[in-house]
Amino acid sequence: MKKLIEDNYQSIVNRGLITAQTNERDFILKLEEEVQEFIEAVNFSMKHEPEELADIILVCLNYANHYNIDIEHELKRKIEINKSR
């Protein structure tokens, strides 16, 4: 998973879409855009819901990578929390 996260992050950095100046608001705006595209795909049966869902996940992974969040650890931790509910 770490390689997938790093490869994706680096591809976005290489395109100039994430820089040292990219802030939380930038990620939130991108996430809102991708969620809207997913909603439209679902509502209009555009058959690319999986791709739009992947875009949402990738934005979240980029956020985690940018802010040095060990998302794999956090996902495992959250799954354990959910199991105990």
d(C-alpha 40, C-alpha 83), whole Å: 32
Per-residue pLDDT of the chain (85 residues; tens, 9 = 90+): 899 999 999 999 999 999 999 999 999 999 999 999 999 999 998 889 999 999 999 999 999 999 999 999 999 999 999 999 9
Quickly list DSSP for 40-77.
HHHHTT-S-HHHHHHHHHHHHHHHHHHTT--HHHHHHH
Q: How many helices (H) and strands (E) does the chain have?
A: 4, 0
The model's pTM is 0.91
pLDDT per position as a tens digit, 32-46: 999 999 999 999 988
Domains parsed from the chain with CATH numbers: 2-83 (1.10.287)
